């Protein structure tokens, strides 16, 4: 079953009655071997006209790009939070993720009165909220947060790849002489470590 079909089969979620400012929170980067954990918090206005909000994994890169522009243009408030590789190593990936989520919410210009977080665990904070399993496919504000986090994480990775592409191409095109192999080793080892991406 495709991600799109799974999303369509999910039961919609609604916040408690009386909630006026609902924020959605999601993360990207818990699974990869390298890079920061990136989170996003988003508050959308009631009656927004952003179409196509869904789990970022069910979208193409072009769709994410277009929705990213729509979200940052129309959201009542949004913020990106991060936890560094050093923080991941120090606190573990789960705690670093919860820390990044808190930073994203604290950075919102408008503070929400309720927060829906994708997953099964809430950060320790003073806000009312709920952890929503598979929330990125069930709650629009979480979908929006998923898209922003994915876009930002992917863009950072793309920039890093652009910076290292010339080194990689040189290594590929070089003859396998001992001096060249030593130079390639000296290039490749620092790619993750020197860029502060390797965990």
CATH code of the domain covering residue 38: 3.30.420.10
- Establish if 180 belongs to a structural domain: yes
pLDDT of residue 169: 44
- Establish if 198 belongs to a structural domain: no
pLDDT of residue 50: 97
Same domain, 30 and 77: yes
pLDDT of residue 6: 62
Same domain, 189 and 118: no
The pTM of the full predicted model, rounded to 2 decimals, is: 0.78
Q: Which of 160, 134, 131 is nearest to 57 (CA)?
A: 134
Same domain, 29 and 108: yes
Please state, in angstroms and as integers, the Cα–Cα distance from residue 107 to each residue in 8, 44, 101, 139, 193, following that order.
32, 15, 10, 21, 29
Tokens of 37: 């954990």
Instruction: Give the structural domain span for 112.
Output: 3-158
Same domain, 78 and 103: yes
Q: Which of 12, 27, 19 is nearest to 122 (CA)?
A: 27
Handedness of CA 114, 109, 87, 154 (dihedral sign): positive
- Establish if 89 belongs to a structural domain: yes
pLDDT of residue 168: 47
- Establish if 82 belongs to a structural domain: yes
Same domain, 43 and 16: yes
Same domain, 50 and 126: yes
Per-run averaged pLDDT (10 residues), the chain, 199 residues: 65 93 93 80 95 94 95 96 92 95 96 97 95 96 96 68 48 48 52 49
H-run or E-run covering 167: helix 140-173
pLDDT of residue 1: 54
- Establish if 199 belongs to a structural domain: no
Please state, in angstroms and as integers, the Cα–Cα distance from residue 116 to each residue in 17, 35, 153, 173, following that order.
14, 25, 21, 50
Same domain, 80 and 154: yes
């Amino acid at each position: 079953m495709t991600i799109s079909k799974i999303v369509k089969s999910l039961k919609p979620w609604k916040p408690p009655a009386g909630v006026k400012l609902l924020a959605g929170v999601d993360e990207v980067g818990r699974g990869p071997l390298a890079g920061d954990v990136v989170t996003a918090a988003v508050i959308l206005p009631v009656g927004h006209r952003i179409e196509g909000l869904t789990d970022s994994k069910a979208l193409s890169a072009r769709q994410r790009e277009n929705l990213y522009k729509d979200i940052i243009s129309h959201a009542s408030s949004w913020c990106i939070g991060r936890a560094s590789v050093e923080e991941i190593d120090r606190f573990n990936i789960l705690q670093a993720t919860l820390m990044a989520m808190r930073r994203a919410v604290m950075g919102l210009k408008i503070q929400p009165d309720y927060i829906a977080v994708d997953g099964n665990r809430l950060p320790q904070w003073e806000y009312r909220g709920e952890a929503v399993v598979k929330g990125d496919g069930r709650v629009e504000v979480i979908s929006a947060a998923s898209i922003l986090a994915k876009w930002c994480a992917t863009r950072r990775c793309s920039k890093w790849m652009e910076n290292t592409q010339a080194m990689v191409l040189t290594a590929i095109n070089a003859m396998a002489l001992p001096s060249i192999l030593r130079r390639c080793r000296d290039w490749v080892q620092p790619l993750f470590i020197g860029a502060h991406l390797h965990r």
